[in-house]
Amino acid sequence: MTMVAAAEALAFWLREPGRGEIRPAGLRAPGPGDVRVRTLRSGVSRGTETLVFRGGVPPDQYSAMRAPFQEGDFPGPVKYGYLNVGVVEQGPRELNGRTVFCLYPHQTSYVVPAHAVAVVPDDVPPERAVLAGTVETAVNALWDAAPLIGDRITVVGAGMVGCCVARLLTRLPATQVNLVDVDISRADVATALGVGFTLPSDAADGRDLVVHTSATSEGLQQSLDLLAPEGTVVDLSWYGDAVVQLSLGGSFHSSRLGIRASQVGAVSAARRSRRSAPERLTLALDLLRDPTFDALITGTSRFEELPDLMARLADGTLPALCHTLTYGEG
């Protein structure tokens, strides 16, 4: 692989659990089927990336948890991330100058195969486009969940994924959508998204569908408790090395309740024969024409601040939904 010193970039690396740093990154010369992208914005996927930052990926999940363009290995040193929006500076004619989304880590510029990027619609700003990977996860979850018109649906966990799921559910006619979270400040976000909000103690039961995204035992238990008989919890949470404890001695058996995992690594079986992963990502970017998603962008910092920023996100001293990073003039 040819390295071009003049094209050196900067990248964020987790040196070891709890310690991040900015490192130089050499770029290979783009080939005929490649693009060179200058990053405009990237987003921190708070749940997964802070879990990686604290070293919470179980050894038996190291392979499954690899990001598409990850370098290094868990628990570190590792370059990890997957919400990147940039402009193509070199590549095929139809992509030159276009704003694109890529599942690439936090880095000032990079070279990838042209098929690894998706064009961002002209009316979707870069700071909103970083949500494409999260909206794609929500799309896949709804393909798994198959909600119906008029359903009473609760989303437990008002993080990035939960909020994206809730917003997409509002497009289904006559649905009653409610967000549940322990953080009362998420009520304002729920209002912006056009859905209801309750604290766990006030959540209504008898729900036709519950989507769980809180990554806690308590959240998953409540999700089961909110279901109507024969209902199913669709669980999007990644628990890492946390132990999940449930009480299944109540209505779980008698009401024939179910728990189903949904994960974005593979297209939902309900659509796998008819939709590809690139088509799913293109759909997510099209859905981001909706300016309501701007409510999920809760903070912005410079790329150079990421080592300290990630530590604050991981320990909870900086609350956030999606925190974005700016790069130079981008």
For 78, half-sphere exposure in the C-beta direction (CA atoms, 13 angstrom radius) is 22
User: What does the pLDDT read at residue 249?
Assistant: 85
Q: 322 - beta bridge partners?
A: 45, 297
Mean pLDDT for the stretch of residues 62-66 = 92
Q: For the domain with range 134-261, which CATH number is right: 3.40.50.300, 3.40.50.720, 3.40.50.11540, 3.20.20.70?
A: 3.40.50.720
DSSP 280-295: HHHHHHHHTT-GGGGG
- Give the whole-number percent of the chain exceeding pLDDT 70: 97
pLDDT at residue 4 greater than cutoff 60: no
User: What does the pLDDT read at residue 319?
Assistant: 85
Q: Check if the beta carbon of residue 50 is closer than 8 Å to that of residue 316.
A: no
pLDDT at residue 235 greater than cutoff 80: yes
User: What does the pLDDT read at residue 8?
Assistant: 85
pLDDT at residue 244 greater than cutoff 80: yes
User: What does the pLDDT read at residue 45?
Assistant: 85
Q: Which helix (H) or strand (E) holds 167?
A: helix 160-169
Q: Check if the beta carbon of residue 63 is closer than 8 Å to that of residue 73.
A: no
For residue range 247-265, what is the model confidence (pLDDT) as tens digits? Answer: 998 889 999 999 999 999 8
Q: Measure the CA dihedral 144/211/189/132, to 10°.
A: -30
| CA pair distance 35, 262, nearest whole angstrom | 32
pLDDT at residue 158 greater than cutoff 60: yes
Q: How confident is the model at residue 1 (pLDDT cuts 50, 70, 90)?
A: very low
User: What does the pLDDT read at residue 329?
Assistant: 59
- Mean pLDDT taken over the chain: 94
User: What does the pLDDT read at residue 84?
Assistant: 98
| CA pair distance 79, 219, nearest whole angstrom | 30
Q: How confident is the model at residue 123 (pLDDT cuts 50, 70, 90)?
A: very high
The residue that leads in pLDDT, 239 or 225, is 225
Q: Check if the beta carbon of residue 37 is closer than 8 Å to that of residue 109.
A: yes
Q: 79 - beta bridge partners?
A: 71
pLDDT at residue 62 greater than cutoff 90: yes
What ranges do the domains of the chain cover?
3-131+288-326, 134-261
CATH code linked to domain 3-131+288-326: 3.90.180.10
**Which pair of tokens denotes residue 189?**
């976000």
Q: How confident is the model at residue 240 (pLDDT cuts 50, 70, 90)?
A: confident
| CA pair distance 330, 328, nearest whole angstrom | 5
Query: Residue 40: which of 149, 119, 130 has the closest Cα?
Result: 130
pTM for the structure as a whole: 0.93
For residue range 67-112, what is the model confidence (pLDDT) as tens digits? Answer: 999 999 999 999 999 999 999 999 999 999 999 999 999 999 999 9
**Which pair of tokens denotes residue 77?**
């040193």
With 0-12 / 13-18 / 19 or more C-beta atoms within 10 angstroms meaning exposed / middle / buried, residue 102 is: buried
Measured from the Cβ of residue 275, the count of other Cβ atoms closer than 10 Å reads 17
